[in-house]
Amino acid sequence: MEARIDYLKVDRGVFHALLGVERYLQGCGLDSKLQDLIRLRASQINGCAYCIDMHWKDLRAAGETEQRLYGLDAWEESPYYTDRERAVLAWTEAVTNVREGHVPDAVYEQVREFFNEKELADLTLCVTSINSWNRMNIAARTVPGNYQPAKSKTA
């Protein structure tokens, strides 16, 4: 596969606009490991190879286990996730797959058991942000494999 577009070469503003959202998410108070779990799951749904590679590596660098990462595609049948994480994963899938219908009330009620309105707004922003990154990278055919996690994320 060959990349189509290098956003940093074409117009840094496109790339930096999404980075502004990421900076907000870094300081919003949501656990970074939970955010990366959201990013990995949405990227799996969307088939974004670059983002799957990136967030898998980020989670491993943060100490996530291989078992939980391998089981993520089948999180509903895997015993490795807390009820809180399951609520977040259900929310991630519902928001990512919104074309299949509106986000169900049952999923909203499930996630509201664990998160207040501000946290839910931040979770939703995290989901919509990674969906934007996925679409940007898929359209550009960004080549996966070379991403390395930041040193500060290593366990």
Which residues, 6+ apart, have CB-to-CB distance to 39 below 8 Å?
51, 54, 55, 58, 126, 130, 133
pLDDT at residue 84 is higher than 90: yes
Whole-number pLDDT of residue 1? 72
Domain layout of the chain by residue ranges: 31-153
Match domain 31-153 to its CATH number in 1.10.1040.10, 1.10.260.40, 3.40.50.970, 1.20.1290.10.
Answer: 1.20.1290.10
Mean pLDDT throughout 97-101?
Answer: 86
Whole-number pLDDT of residue 103? 95
In the chain, the percentage of residues whose pLDDT exceeds 90 is: 79
Whole-number pLDDT of residue 155? 41
Mean pLDDT throughout 20-39?
Answer: 97
Q: How confident is the model at residue 5 (pLDDT cuts 50, 70, 90)?
A: confident
Average pLDDT, the chain: 92
Whole-number pLDDT of residue 59? 97
Question: The pTM is what?
Answer: 0.91
Mean pLDDT throughout 23-40?
Answer: 97
Whole-number pLDDT of residue 152? 53
DSSP string, the chain: ---S--HHHH-HHHHHHHHHHHHHHHHSSS-HHHHHHHHHHHHHHHT-HHHHHHHHHHHHHTT--HHHHHTGGGTTT-TTS-HHHHHHHHHHHHHHTGGGSSPPHHHHHHHHTT--HHHHHHHHHHHHHHHHHHHHHHHHTPPPS-----GGG--
In the chain, the percentage of residues whose pLDDT exceeds 70 is: 96
Mean pLDDT throughout 20-47?
Answer: 97
Whole-number pLDDT of residue 73? 95
